Amino acid sequence: QSEFDAANSWNSWENVYNVVYLIAVLLTIPIGILLIVWAHRAHRATDALNHGQRKWGHGWSIGAWFIPIANYILVPLVLSEIHKIASAQRTNGTVDSEWPRSKVSAPLIMWFVFYAVGGVTLFIGNAALSDDFATADSYRGGLIITLIALGITAAASLLAASFIKDVSTKLEAPLATSN
């Protein structure tokens, strides 16, 4: 009976993993596309507010997402510039020259920290799952690590939604202006 209970426990964890992983995979592609489209549109919207020089051009608002490993650095840099322009004080509909000195968004930083930690944890969990010589306990441990990673990634998604809402709201309504 004890071996039967252990097998059922293992199967239960695997079933939870399969459902959660399927949902994550099905959501990742459309959410990724929407993030890229939003970043590009937000970049274009900030052009109307800033007629000066920018560090990150339009191409980076799309291309930065597709550079492996570097995307963990480049995307936040591009989005940070968008946030700074969207948040800056405006005069006659344009931002002043002080916008580059604005603070970096905390939700943006936290989003990518959680995203990176979730990615590394997911890699570790999947590595444990791919071990051909795994015992039931080590396999279950891999499932648990992977589920934790997906939870961290879900938290990153909530932080991303907070950041996107903040920037979008700032782009939709003009901030206090002075003439």
Q: How far apart are CA 58 and CA 96, in angstroms?
A: 20
> Is residue 44 very low, low, confident or very high in pLDDT (cuts 50, 70, 90)?
very high
Spatial CA neighbour of 97 closest among 61, 58, 59, 54: 54
Identify the residue with better confidence: 142 or 134. Answer: 142
pTM given for the model:
0.84
Asked whether the predicted pLDDT for residue 132 surpasses 80, the reply is: no
pLDDT digits (tens, 9 = 90+) for 61-95: 999 999 999 999 999 999 999 999 999 988 888 99
Place of tokens 């959410």: 31
